[in-house]
Amino acid sequence: MKKLFQPDPLRILPVGHQPTADRAPDELAAGSPAWLRDDLIEMLDADQVLSRPIDLIKYASDASPYRLFPKVIVLPRHVEEVRQIFAYAKRKQLPVTIRASGSSLSGQAQGDGILIEARRHWAGWTIEEEGRRLRVRPGTVLFRANLALAPHGYRLGPDPASGSVCTIGGVVANNSSGMCCGTAQNSYQTIESLTFLLPTGHLIDTANPNAAEDFASAAPELNAGLLEIKREIEADAPLVERIRRKFSIKNTTGYHMEAFLDADTPLEIFRRLLIGSEGTLAFLSEAVFRTVPDDKQRLTAFLIFPDMYAAAAAVAPFVEAGAAAVELTDRASLRSVEGKPGVPDRWRELGETATGLLIEFRESTAELRDAALSAANKVLASLNLVEPAEFTTDRRLAAQFWSVRNGLLPSVGGSRPAGTSLILEDVCFPKDRLADGAIDLQQLLARHDYEGFVFGHASAGNLHFLITPSLNTQADIDRYDAFMADVVALVVDKYDGSLKAEHGTGRNVAPFVVREWGPKLTGLMWKLKRLTDPDGILSPGVLLSEDVASHLQNLHTTPIVEDEVDRCVECGYCEPVCPSRNLSTTPRQRIILRREMMRQPADSPVTLALLRDYEYEAIETCAGDGVCAIACPVNINTGNLMKEFRRQEHSATQEYVAKKAAQNWSTVESITRTALRANQLSASTLGEWPAKTITGASRAIVSHDLAPAWLPNLPAAADTKLPQTDPANATAVYFMACVNRIFGDSPDAKPAPSLAQAMVAVSARAGMPVYIPSDIWGNCCATVWHSKGYDQGNAFMANKIVESLWRWSDAGRLPIVCDASSCTLGIASEILEYLTPENRERHAQLSLLDSIDWAHDFLLPRLQIARPVGSVAVHPTCATQHLGLGEKLRALCAALALETVVPIHATCCGFAGDRGLLHPELTKAATAEQAAELDHREFDGYVSSNRTCEIGMNQATGADYRSVLFLLEELTRPEAASSS
């Protein structure tokens, strides 16, 4: 029986599109082969085996232009399960690919066999020697490892630009470097030990005192073969010189064969070879890094030179003066960021050869910084610049400079023509030939009619080139093939540089390894691969390939979909912050799946199979919080697309009912409070079963996406008796959000004033009295309707709230303070497109403040905090981030507590208004890592700024999260001051 108001996913079925040659084949509609799925479920657990069509397609892509469909995805929890998977793959002769974040740019995270997901159950770290060493697991996102190290004054050496998404496993597997890393602080130089699992199933910890003996016993042929390769290399003096010279600059083409010259024992050689091996030799389960100091005293400048040669000539002097970063941007790159925040308008007039250098010095003390400034200024004085420049210690100005450099990818990716791909490759030239190499690259791009961009880490001779080709036809692919052939000829034949500098070899360059290194050394690489993995199961074709055209296989098209997401380059930056990342799908995967629907013929079996699961996996379990847009380099809010799909799925009857709910919202509020009181009474007298039964029945009849689930420890109903306020003396209107008019305290909370009482009291105490309008009931920020895609209800409430705020504020004379951050965000921005022209003009004249603004800017300076509490745990909501209030919230808490802790894993709680009531599993998954991080200690306070988010965190942690206003009011009471 179809449920009342059940969403109809057929309403989002794509129409009017052309199928593509690279679409998923019809047989994929059946999912994984039954025998394979059943075998792996018997070996693991059912929830560790992903076998549906939607799973195979969403894991078929990474950040590269390639796409391969895995036969099955497995989520092992520990090494023993990986060992079993390896043994099974060998028996069945199935390839195995190891994937963590899938941020690889050259197809390293894709395979057409068994895909091991090594992120979900493989994160965690241990700080050792007060931060000088870090023991870390492969699924740990790099930026989180650095956040853990930051209080100790250290960081990891590798600093790739993708640090917000890439994991330690990928960093090690690709020997990633970055802007300040060079060749001195990459994984190869800073890893102290590794724990790895060979394809044979033997686990080796290189730090174990008996590791060398264990390795020799576990892999005698490999052990002996490594020594044979070492002898062969060392016997060839020209080859030794070539290896040393080519690894003096960045180089990740093929295996890091310098290991045979840097180490003497087979185990130590192999440990070094694993770095940059791209998952082709072993499974890495743990790494121990020697960290580097995180120097905070910085000098930054952005210099504009008349041409590439002038810029390149300045690189060495700055490096010799101690610069940590020297970043080059060509004229096309500078042009791509024109008009962006922090970019001077005068840059529009720069000449066609103008070239930029971003220079940064990083020192540990102010004295060393001053000495660096003196050295930097000597270099600066000798330069011929297009415009005057100076080094600054202003962090905001430095951040603007870096935003210009880091804005290249979003600017180019966001403005590329719909239907095109984005390919970012990297090469390395000898440092003394940087300018020539850069100019040759520019000319090569023009010769193949690519609008390309050249930029990169000039101090290392490492240049990136970025192109946006169409790969939708054979002619497009032929053109790309010709371009790559010329790139190889340029880098290898003319400059003897590195075809890959820091992104790993990948599928794009695997066929050209022999071109760079020659047949002898490439043959030794193949010997290493076959000694280690004689069955060839680990990532075939990723690092070495005997097929000269393998780089042209499995290139994917980029179908045009909805405008909101056509800019997506599938980089995955959104994934670490997505609430549903460990439950269903991520923003990138939602887009990947939508693009697959566009590749398919109408009503194809694959499309119908996708739609069957897309409703829950993508639409229902999207929190719609928009934090993906904050993390996204091209500012895509995938939540908006999911809300649009919810709108499309509605019938006219559903829209009518939603509008009626908006028109009678005060009644809905009253009914909800009555339900909360009944739930509390029932729980205290009859237990949980009546509420569970009623909610279960309503969900079975109505819809899981409209009827709430039962949750334990729901808050009590809010008190409808509001404090007395005087509009005549008010300095602001207090808009009490409906979530705070509905939900009161947690059931086990100690007696305390209500939020309204706290707000009114603390504002009056600061000499900033507020007033609550008497007709506040029934007014809402409209987020309830916006998040569910109900246009008519949204439009009604959006206009109603603006008209009410206009009246309450005396036509904008008084500011309005909102006590829920998500409601502040909704009123500030989300309702705009639904307003009438008259109400849009009114909206522009309103002054809307979040409670954090009010407390930090207006109340705190006028209050005395006599005795701060010892510690507070802070949950910054996604709305807080959108509003740019994170720093104010932390500063406010720092004034109220001696220690303020924002968890490293703090992301959106997934409660998302009422989504946590509809899908409590979303909140549980979204908060699991944060809850585990907080589990080891108690805090004196748990604070946030949004009631539903606080409910979500209460459910996740068992702690009583409350608005920060409660703590501010409590600590500024007169009795608190007198008792101190």
Interval 4-62: pLDDT, tens: 567 888 899 888 788 999 999 999 999 999 999 999 999 999 999 999 999 999 999 99
In a domain? residue 521? no
> Is residue 776 in some structural domain?
yes
| Claim to verify: residue 312 and residue 439 sit in the same structural domain | yes
Residue 951 lies in a domain: yes
- pLDDT tens-digit map of 555-603: 999 999 998 889 999 999 999 999 999 999 999 999 999 999 999 998 8
Q: Are residues 288 and 324 in the same domain?
A: no
pLDDT of 682: 64
942 and 894 in a common domain: yes
pLDDT value, residue 69: 98
Within this chain, do residues 83 and 102 fall inside the same structural domain, yes or no? yes
Lowest mean pLDDT among 34-43, 548-557, 694-703: 694-703
Q: Are residues 812 and 933 in the same domain?
A: no
Would 526 be classed as within a structural domain?
A: no
More confident residue, 411 or 793: 793
C-alpha–C-alpha distance, residues 919 and 931, integer Å: 18
Confidence of residue 697 (pLDDT cuts 50, 70, 90): very low
Separation of alpha carbons 449 and 899, rounded Å: 57
Q: Are residues 354 and 469 located together in one domain of the fold?
A: yes
Choosing from 504, 537, 558, the residue where a domain stops is 504
Q: What is the CATH number of the domain that holds 482?
A: 3.40.462.40
In this structure, of 4-13, 288-297, 492-501, 631-640, the range with the lowest mean pLDDT score is 4-13
CATH label of the domain that carries residue 179: 3.30.465.10
476 shares a domain with 336? yes
Domain count, the chain: 4
Cβ 138 vs Cβ 287: under 8 Å: yes
The predicted model gives 323-347 an average pLDDT of: 90
Q: Which of 793, 820, 847 is the last residue of a domain?
A: 847
Q: At residue 858, does pLDDT exceed 90?
A: yes
Model confidence at 1, pLDDT cuts 50, 70, 90, reads: very low
**What confidence tens digit (pLDDT) does each residue in 208-252 have?**
999 999 999 999 999 999 999 999 999 999 999 999 999 999 999
Please say if the pLDDT value at position 383 is more than 90. yes
Residue-wise pLDDT for 658-692, tens only, equals 899 999 999 988 988 888 888 777 666 655 554 45
Q: Are residues 928 and 816 in the same domain?
A: no
**Mean pLDDT of all residues belonging to the chain:** 93
678 lies in the same domain as 725: yes
Displacement of CA 298 from its chain's centroid (Å): 26
What pLDDT is stored for residue 694 in this prediction? 46
Banded pLDDT at 979 (limits 50, 70, 90): low
Domain limit, last residue, from 829, 847, 865: 847
Half-sphere exposure at residue 146, Cβ-oriented, CA atoms within 13 angstroms:
19
* Residue 686: per-residue pLDDT: 53
**Structure tokens that stand for 954 in this block:** 């209460």
For the segment 828-855, the average pLDDT, to the nearest whole number, is: 97
Q: Kindly state whether residues 230 and 337 are assigned to the same domain.
A: no
Domain that holds residue 455: 297-504
549 found inside a domain: no
* pTM, to two decimals: 0.94
Q: What is the largest CA-CA distance in the chain?
A: 93
Q: Who contacts 73 (Cβ-Cβ below 8 Å, separation ≥6)?
A: 49, 50, 51, 55, 56, 59, 114, 115, 117
The three-state secondary structure class of 339 is coil
- Same domain (yes/no): 797, 896: no
Beta-strand runs (E) in 429-506: 453-457, 462-467
> E strands along 789-874, which residues?
816-818, 848-850, 869-874
Q: Identify the sign of the CA torsion 859, 722, 676, 786.
A: negative
Q: List Cβ neighbours of 857 (8 Å cut-off, separation of 6 or more).
A: 849, 888
Compute the average pLDDT of residues 615-631. 94
